Amino acid sequence: MALPDRFDTSTEPELYERWVEANCFTADASRSTRAGGDRDPFTIVIPPPNVTAILHLGHALDGVTQDVLIRWARMRGQETLWLPGTDHAGIATQNVVEKQLAAEGKTRVDVGRDAFLKRTEAFVADTGGTILKQLRAIGASADWTRTAYTFSPELSRAVREAFAQLYEKGLIYRGHRVIHWCPRCQTSLSDEEAEFSDEDGALFHITYRIAGGDGHITVATSRPETMLGDVAVAVNAKDPRYAKLIGTNVILPILNIEIPVIADDYADPEFGTGVVKITPAHDANDFEVGKRHNLAMPVVIDQYAMMNPGANTDVQRVPAFVLGKSTTEARDLIKRSLKEIGALEKTESKRHAVRHCYRCDTVVEPRLSDQWFVKMAPLAKPALDGLRAGAMRILPQRWEAVYVNWLEGIRDWNISRQLWWGHRIPVWYCKDCDPPYDMHVSRTDLTMCPHCGSPVRQDEDVLDTWFSSWLWPMSTLGWPDDSKDMKAFYPTDVLVSGPDIIFFWVARMVMAGYFFTGRSPYHTVLLHGMARDTEGRKMSKSLGNGLDPMQVVKLYGADAMRWTLVSGMGLGADITLDPNDLDKTFATGRNFVTKLWNIARFLLEKAGSAPVMPVAEIPKGTLQRADEWILWRLDVAIAECDAALGPLHPAKALATSDTVQWAPDERVNGMRLNDLAETARRFVWSELADWYLESIKGRLEAGGDDAEIARAVLVHTFDGALRLLHPIVPFVSEAVWQQLPEGGRRKEEGRFLATARWPEKGSAGNYEKGKSFDRIEAEFVKAFRQMKAEYAVPPATEPEAWIKLGDIFTVSTDAEIATATATISRLARVKIPGSPPQRDFVQAVTASGHVAVLAIGGLVDIDKECARLTGELTSLEKQLSGLEGRLSNEKFTSKAPADVVAAERAKLAEWTTRRQQLRDKVQTLCGG
């Protein structure tokens, strides 16, 4: 059957549907060895994208990486599960819907909580999940029968269970403190959600007069507007400048009220003036100081970051001239006012880190409020121990330090959000009960108080989105139930993600895994890099430098994109792509896919589709040297691909055991997808297509038994190549594989390459002998081609003479090759041998054992050829003398490993021979 000229990428979706219909991606829990089956499980849970997200390049990178691993594991015969799903994405989704409302001139408060939730649900039902369809388009071989959603009833149940368990063990508590508050989103944020960025600001030096005395002290602050909430100034007790002031009062400018000077180690004598103003309600550190000294905590900034009096305001602390102004306006007004009353000593400009909301980039306001927290230190310990014990590894390994550092300094996690879209906190309050019965944590909804029967009301807040995400590897498999999937697939194997969510997600999942199941949820964390543009900027929607993966799929096909991404990205390294030149950026992948397709076209057109004999059944001795060579190269490629991907599991991981441990020497092995790409490419293109395929053209045309052998070897090796390539380019490899002639292993397997077996080295025999073909390639063909190009031999020149060199191709000793080389050199004296085009080379290595030599006597430039040969000889002699020096150096021979020395000795012999050959050549051609 003839294939079309090009791989029609518009057929990719059809192929995908066929895989799905054949259940290629559906995992069977009962086949897992953990559930009594006969296949080791291999599981990856997808980092769930936001339910309303559209696929961007980051997702594509993440998805393709996982898919390569998943497809590889599947071919390795594992019971493979890639569990897909989405995240309800509390703040992000709520923001989108709020924006829609804003466009209609409404706020969420206008529509009310219930209506807002209905609307958001409808919005998610309508637009959500787009990204999952897009993942199909890039070939993601996920098990869609298990698609999960963090806000589904099942996962919501897991969330409540987790909350309840943590609460019951005293690890969840309600705290009153200063937290990060986003005035736009109107919610608190965790430390991780409030991201730092450096901004130009100023340090204001403000004079506080000493009450009832002379003199003043100077306070430095970057946020003068908060002085309205000052209740004290702090100095360090060890600071001699201020020691005698401790216990006295100073006068807070503008408000003209007296506040005490207190001693606290928080004041750093080295920084600024050594005096710190204390605003307990609007700064997390000041809050701690305030608690230590039992200070009042007047609120002067409201939830919208406006200057307004709030709780604990003992006097009218917000004067009319700033009342109702934003903090930024207020900063200016206060500054002006301080200047007027002569209290502003100076301002110095300074860059400082300002926290921003990670969702809307609004400057975060520290705010005093009641929130729910998770006590993290007890959870962090097993996660640290697990990594140290080798139960888990992070690749690239340098990120392990980041993980450890964060866990060691971990702080309690604020998990309550003042949002509507999310898991409502499963706490009910009873008005009629006295403490401690006023608060009830429940796994089921409560309508009445379990103690007094009074009506109860549920906590208004919802949980941080990440509180559901951190359960993902368990909740998606059925936890808290002892489900079939939990048994069969938990713990999972690899987690693939970007390093930007180590804290948000990766580390927290490990903590949850240990706390709720006693085990790490995965043994390997693979962190890939990010996509950047040619200026090194991270690709993002806001910068407008994004690159739409769907556009790439449309233009070049999913495989071309996958190939470009995989082959272009080293372990953990960022990838640079040019969003303005897609043709150039994806040329690598597009060209490769086309090449693969064309090899298949050749195979089907020239070798036909009749069944071939299994290579292992070909009688010994009937294989040509080139056959053995390509079979040997396939084995080499298989070994290199296996090394690139490394072990599927730690060697010490027993499917049914609770202990998993990476040995130190295997801990950094594998996961080098770009090496897989490079090796497979080299094999199929540089070796199979460029050399082997060219060499058998004549044999195929000649027909007969030898043609059958060539066909069998061609089909076998191309089949092997397709298997190695399939994880990276699933579509084209599958499409081509479907057309391959029947024969050998393929016949016994299923209908899909997607579920065919990963090739094994040496499966068809031992072809080490094929190595000698390398010598032919290097010694003769290349030399011919070079000379031909150098002397500009017209390609159409007909071979004038055929020289019988059959023995050259049936022997491989150095001496015999030397003889052949000399023969050709002698000929060069009168007739320069130019290489034939590849087609002719084919004839050279067929059974005829002929080499074509072109007669171009008139073009011979003996001087030029002599110069070239002499140069080569000089260079070789130079290298040889270095080698001789090394080998006569006793230090080298005694200290270097034996195999290195042996290799050098072998090289010496080889080079010496080559030197002799070159000398002979020079002698013959140039007359000495």
Partner RNA sequence: GGGCGAAUAGCUCAGUUGGUUAGAGCGCCUGCCUUACACGCAGGAAGUCGGGGGUUCGAGUCCCUCUUCGCCCACCA
824-843 binders of RNA (CB under 7 A): 835, 837-839
Task: Give yes or no for residue 886 binding RNA (CB under 7 A).
Answer: yes
Q: In this structure, are strands 194-210 and 413-414 parallel, antiparallel, or unpaired?
A: unpaired
The tokens describing 707, both together, are 């043609």
Interacting span for RNA (CB under 7 A) from 57-65, 242-250, 682-690, 725-733: 682-690
Site for RNA in 297-356 (CB under 7 A): 352-353
How far apart, in Å, are the Cα atoms of 212 and each of 206, 249, 256?
18, 8, 13
Q: Is 892 in the site for RNA (CB under 7 A)?
A: yes
Q: Does 897 bind RNA (CB under 7 A)?
A: yes
Decide: 407 and 434 in contact? Cβ < 8 Å. Answer: no
Of the residues 266, 429, 752, 791, which one makes contact with RNA according to CB under 7 A: 266
| Closest distance of CB 294 from RNA, Å | 20
End-to-end CA distance of the chain: give it in Å, rounded. 59
- Under the criterion CB under 7 A, does residue 178 sit at the interface with RNA? no
Distance CA 681, CA 688 (A): 10
* Pairing label, strands 456-458, 439-441: unpaired
Return the residue of 49, 272, 290, 521 that touches RNA, per CB under 7 A.
272
Closest residue by Cα to residue 395 from 645, 725, 68: 645
Q: How far is the CB of 906 from RNA (least distance, A)?
A: 8
Answer whether 787's CB lies under 8 Å from 835's CB: yes
Spell out the long-range contacts of 759-765 with Cβ–Cβ below 8 A and sequence spacing 24 or more. 759/634, 759/638, 759/720, 759/723, 759/724, 760/638, 761/635, 761/638, 761/639, 761/642, 762/635, 763/616, 764/614, 764/615, 764/616, 764/631, 764/716, 765/615, 765/616, 765/631
Q: Phi-psi category of 865—alpha, beta or left, where left has phi over 0 and alpha has psi -120 to 50?
A: alpha
Tokens of 682: 């080299």
To the nearest whole angstrom, how small is the minimum distance from the Cβ of residue 339 to RNA? Answer: 19
Minimum gap (Å) between residue 900 Cβ and RNA: 5
Closer to RNA by CB, 147 or 285: give it: 285
Q: Which of 8, 17, 110, 268 binds RNA (CB under 7 A)?
A: 268
* Closest CB to RNA among residues 106, 398: 398
Spatial contact of 717 and 695, defined as CB atoms under 8 Å apart: no
In the stretch 649-668, what mask flags binding to RNA with x, by CB under 7 A?
----------------x--x
Q: Of the candidates 452, 789, 811, 902, which one interacts with RNA according to CB under 7 A?
A: 789
Selected from 891, 898, 927, 928, the binder of RNA by CB under 7 A is: 891
Residue 606: closest CA among 479, 692, 729, 724: 692
The Cβ-side half-sphere exposure at 381, using a 13 Å CA radius, reads 3
Tokens read off for 746: 């393929």
Smallest gap from Cβ 485 to RNA, in A, equals 33
Minimal distance in Å, beta carbon 75 to RNA? 22
Find the binding residues for RNA in span 769-788 (CB under 7 A): 782, 785-786, 788
Kindly state whether residue 431 participates in binding RNA, applying the rule CB under 7 A: no
Give yes or no for a contact between 87 and 158, defined as CB atoms under 8 angstroms apart: no
Q: Minimal distance in Å, beta carbon 1 to RNA?
A: 14
Q: Given CA atoms 631, 637, 641, 646 in this order, what sign does their dihedral have?
A: positive
Alpha-carbon distances of 171 from 123, 162, 163, 165, 442, rounded to whole Å: 35, 11, 9, 9, 15
Please pick, from the candidates 488, 593, 824, 852, the single residue that binds RNA as defined by CB under 7 A. 593
DSSP code at position 683:
I
Toward RNA, which CB reaches closer, 757 or 771? 771
Cis peptide preceding 491, ω within 30 of 0 = yes
Q: What x/- string results for residues 554 through 583 when contact with RNA is judged by CB under 7 A?
A: --------------xxxx-xxxx-------
- The C-alpha atoms of residue 79 and residue 354 are separated, in whole angstroms, by 48
Residue 270 lies near RNA (rule: CB under 7 A)? yes
- Taking CB under 7 A as the binding criterion, the range among 263-271, 340-348, 728-736, 817-825 that sits at the site for RNA is 263-271
State the DSSP H helix or E strand holding residue 592, giving kind and residue range, or none if neither.
helix 587-606
Cβ proximity to RNA, 143 vs 779, nearer residue: 779
Which residues are registered as beta bridge partners of 82? Answer: 44
* 11: contact with RNA by CB under 7 A: no
Which residue type is seen at 719? D
203-222 residues in contact with RNA (CB under 7 A) are 203, 220-222
Dihedral-angle region of residue 186 (phi above 0 means left; psi in -120 to 50 means alpha; beta otherwise): left
Nearer to RNA, 490 or 592 (CB): 592
Nearest approach, Cβ of residue 354 and RNA (Å) = 9
Tell me if 879 contacts RNA by CB under 7 A.
Answer: yes
Which of 28, 121, 195, 877 lies at the binding interface for RNA (CB under 7 A)?
195
Helices (H), 104-149: 108-111, 113-127, 130-137
Nearest to 770 by CA among 633, 593, 878, 638: 633
Q: What is the x/- site pattern for RNA, positions 379-418, by CB under 7 A? A: -------------------x--xx--xx--x---------
- Per rule CB under 7 A, is residue 273 in the interface with RNA? yes
Residue 716 contacts residue 586 (beta carbons within 8 Å) = no
Nearer to RNA, 340 or 605 (CB): 605
Q: Which is nearer to RNA, 419 or 714 (CB)?
A: 714
Name the minimum Å distance from CB 676 to RNA. Answer: 11
Nearer to RNA, 308 or 838 (CB): 838
Exposed/middle/buried for 398, CB within 10 Å: 0-12, 13-18, 19+? Answer: exposed
Q: Per CB under 7 A, which of residues 600..639 are in contact with RNA?
A: 601-602, 605-606
Which C-beta is closer to RNA: that of 60 or that of 162? 60
- Binding to RNA by residue 598, rule CB under 7 A? yes
Positions in 725-754 near RNA (CB under 7 A): none
Q: Which two tokens stand for residue 597?
A: 């397709």
Region binding RNA by CB under 7 A among candidate stretches 208-216, 260-268, 514-522, 539-547: 260-268
- Among 136, 317, 667, 672, contact with RNA (rule: CB under 7 A): 672
534 binds RNA (CB under 7 A): yes
Interactions with RNA, residue window 469-508 (CB under 7 A): 500, 503
Q: Are 430 and 423 in contact (CB under 8 A)?
A: no
Q: Please, which of residues 74-133 interact with RNA by CB under 7 A?
A: none
Positive or negative torsion for Cα 703, 709, 710, 712 = positive
Q: In the complex, what is the shortest distance from the CB of residue 325 to RNA, in angstroms, rounded to a whole number? A: 20
The neighbour count for residue 891, using CB atoms within 10 Å, is: 8
Q: Segment near RNA (CB under 7 A), from 14-22, 156-164, 532-540, 850-858? A: 532-540
Is-contact 869 918, C-beta < 8 A?
Answer: yes
Residue 271 interacts with RNA (CB under 7 A): yes or no = yes
Q: How far is the CB of 189 from RNA (least distance, A)?
A: 13
Pick between residue 150 and residue 679 the one whose CB is nearest to RNA. Answer: 679
**Residue 591 lies near RNA (rule: CB under 7 A):** yes
Cβ atoms of 831 and 801 closer than 8 Å? yes
Residue 405 or 810 with smaller CB distance to RNA: 405
Provide, rounded to whole angstroms, the least separation between the CB of residue 123 and RNA: 30
Binding mask 685-714 for RNA (x = CB under 7 A): x---xx--xx--x-----------------
Of 520 and 674, which has the nearer Cβ to RNA? Answer: 674
Residue choice 202, 284, 803, 827 for contact with RNA (CB under 7 A): 284
Q: Which H/E stretch holds residue 852?
A: strand 850-854
Task: Please list every residue from 217 through 246 that binds RNA, using CB under 7 A.
Answer: 220-223
